[in-house]
Amino acid sequence: MMTVPLAMGGCILLTGLAGILLLRLATGFIAHVEGLSAPPPLPQRTVLLLSWLFISSSLFLSGFQGWLPTMAVTRGLLVAAWCLVLASLDLARYWLPLSFTATMTLAGMIFSVLSEERETLRLAAEVIGTFLVLWQLRMFVNRLKQNEVFGLGDVWLLTALVSWFPVFDVLLVTLLALLSAVCFGLFAKRQYLPFGPFLCMFAVLPAFISMERYL
């Protein structure tokens, strides 16, 4: 009877240490790019770490209880790890570096092919199609606003999510992120916000429930 609590405790400890290392990766990247002698402090570091612990613990618990298959838990943890780094960079410097988003996309495509949940041609079409549509949408929105309100990093992050999850699941994630960003912006009276953290906040949702089950 104590197996699950003990296993959960060990997983929480390990993921907590992993979260600290991932945040150090983010600060180390900033220090390297900016030529700093020491890593800078991260805004909302505690919130980011607690969010990571909540998401990873929920995934582990769902796996231990048999609510989610091992593959879904693994996918969720990998996406959450990438999102922790990207959200911290976007909050700190408004960065979603290609070195992270592109590798996330590649890893997602490899994982999806190996898991055999999507056909290779369908996966490639969804990833490439998503990138091209978002690229055009970005050009249109930025030209309309005459400002960089839709960053290329956001395009890559959404494309990366499509490499891990089906398009309709990522569409739901995007809508929830947009709604949250608008509500937060109105509450905080801020016109421009980094969109990456809002995407990352809901990015793992498809690991728990997929729209494809109802389509």
What pLDDT sits at residue 6? 77
What pLDDT sits at residue 215? 60
Residue range 45-51: mean pLDDT, rounded? 95
Q: Are 207 and 59 in contact (CB under 8 A)?
A: yes
Name the residue with higher pLDDT: 84 or 188: 84
**Who contacts 144 (Cβ-Cβ below 8 Å, separation ≥6)?**
none
Name the residue with higher pLDDT: 117 or 153: 153
Domain parsing of the chain, residue ranges: 1-95, 105-202
pLDDT band per the 50, 70, 90 thresholds, residue 1: very low
DSSP state of 35: T
pLDDT tens-digit map of 52-76:
999 999 999 999 889 999 999 999 9
Instruction: Tell me how far apart the alpha carbons of residues 95 and 194 are, in angstroms, rounded to a whole number.
Output: 9
What pLDDT sits at residue 214? 63
Report whether pLDDT(166) > 80.
yes
Instruction: Tell me how far apart the alpha carbons of residues 156 and 169 are, in angstroms, rounded to a whole number.
Output: 16
pLDDT tens-digit map of 88-130:
999 999 999 999 999 999 999 999 999 988 899 999 999 999 9
In terms of residues, how long is the chain? Answer: 215
pTM: 0.93
What pLDDT sits at residue 213? 67
pLDDT averaged over every residue in the chain: 92
Report whether pLDDT(183) > 90.
yes
Q: Are 169 and 198 in contact (CB under 8 A)?
A: no
Report whether pLDDT(5) > 80.
no
| Other C-beta atoms lying within 10 Å of the C-beta of residue 120 | 11
